Structures are given as C-alpha cells and as structure tokens.
C-alpha cells in the first residue's frame, strides 16, 4: 500500500503522506478437556502470519522555484497477536498434550521526502519509517493429574515468535540551482527534515505452566 503526494507547478507545496501496509489484531483461544479411561490425545496448534509493506512519498519533485514537501510516515506491519490455550486430561492411562504456537511478523517500510530539485529554496518534511511493530502474548496451561501408578503423560509447549523488519527514511538528495532573482547574495537554501528509521520493534510475552 502506498500514499503519494507530489509533483506540480513551479511553486510546489506538498501535503503529508501516510501509509500502513498491514494492521492486524488476532486473538486465539483454545480449551480442551479429556476424562475417562484409555488414551487421550490433545493437539492445539496455532499459526499466525502477518506481512505488510508500505511506501509514503512526498518527495521526488522538480522544476520548482520554491519547494516545500510535507511529512512522510510509513509503517510496514503493525500487529497484535494474543493466544490463550488450556488443556486438561485426567483419569486416563496415557495422556499426550501438544500446544505448538508459531507467530511470524514481517514488515518493510519506505518513507521519502527528499530527492527534489528547486531553483532558489527547498525545504523537506520529516520522514519516518517503521518496518515491523508487533506485540505477541502467549499463555499456555496444561494439566495432567495422575490418578494411578503407571500413568504416562506427555506435555509439549513450543512457542516460536519471529519478527523481521526493514525500514528506510530519506530526506536528502536534494539540489538547488540558485538561479532565482531573490538569491542576490549568491546563497542557496536547503532545509531538510529529520529522518528516522526503525526496522523491527517486537515485544513478546510468553507464559507456560503444566501440572
């Protein structure tokens, strides 16, 4: 997903551009209970994938006497994932419980206010790019009360949470020709905004319990 604001007549003033590739909230809740004699097999797999790409551009303007670009803000992936699992088996001779969780968050962001050409004066807005921002919360509980000698119990609680991000912010690569009538002092004027880029900002909270 992209947002573009730019290109115009000799005097150019662009507005802001904001783009978000993917914004997702995922909630998964699983509960299983097994009771009685014999064999109990409980499998609670969860797989969540979030992928986003965003481009925000107010730059790449040219052929202007005076040029001012707005801010550019791009967020590739913005995701919140919450997984809650509970499983219990009692009164069985053999119990197998597996709670595998896999969460993948991938984002890429590009924010540009630069790459402009002007005759006399040029000013660019801030460029902010965030590739991947994710919050992952996993709460797992498995209970296998033993009721007799010889009871076999297997509990597998595996969580794989991965975050990957790429970000690029650019306010530079500008040029001023200094051919305007108001530049009698022989000076050109270029004022660039801040450029901030963060590839990945991922917070993971995992709680596991078995009894």
Contact status, residue 81 vs residue 134, Cβ threshold 8 Å: yes
pLDDT per residue as tens digits for the range 35-68: 777 788 889 999 999 999 999 999 999 888 889 9
pLDDT for the residue 8: 44
pLDDT per residue as tens digits for the range 137-188: 999 999 887 656 567 778 888 999 999 999 999 999 999 886 555 556 667 7
Residue in the block written with tokens 């970000």: 167
């Amino acid at each position: 997903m992209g947002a573009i604001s730019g290109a115009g007549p000799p005097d150019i003033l662009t507005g802001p551009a904001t783009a978000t590739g993917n914004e997702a909230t995922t909630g998964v809740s699983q509960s299983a209970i097994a009771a009685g004699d014999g064999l109990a097999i409980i499998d609670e797999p969860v797989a969540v994938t979030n992928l986003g790409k965003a481009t925000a551009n107010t730059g790449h303007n040219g052929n202007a006497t005076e040029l001012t670009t707005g801010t550019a803000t791009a967020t590739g992936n913005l995701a919140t994932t919450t997984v809650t699992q509970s499983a219990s088996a009692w009164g069985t001779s053999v119990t197998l419980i597996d709670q595998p969780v896999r969460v993948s968050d991938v984002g890429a962001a590009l924010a540009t206010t630069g790459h402009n050409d002007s005759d006399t004066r040029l000013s660019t807005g801030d460029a902010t790019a965030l590739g991947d921002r994710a919050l992952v919360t996993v709460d797992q509980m498995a209970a296998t009360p033993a009721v007799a000698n010889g009871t076999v119990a297997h509990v597998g609680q595996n969580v794989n949470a991965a975050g990957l991000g790429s970000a690029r912010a650019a306010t530079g690569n500008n040029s001023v020709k200094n051919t305007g009538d108001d530049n009698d002092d022989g000076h050109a004027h270029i004022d660039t905004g801040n450029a901030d880029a963060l590839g990945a900002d991922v917070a993971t909270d995992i709680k596991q319990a078995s009894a």
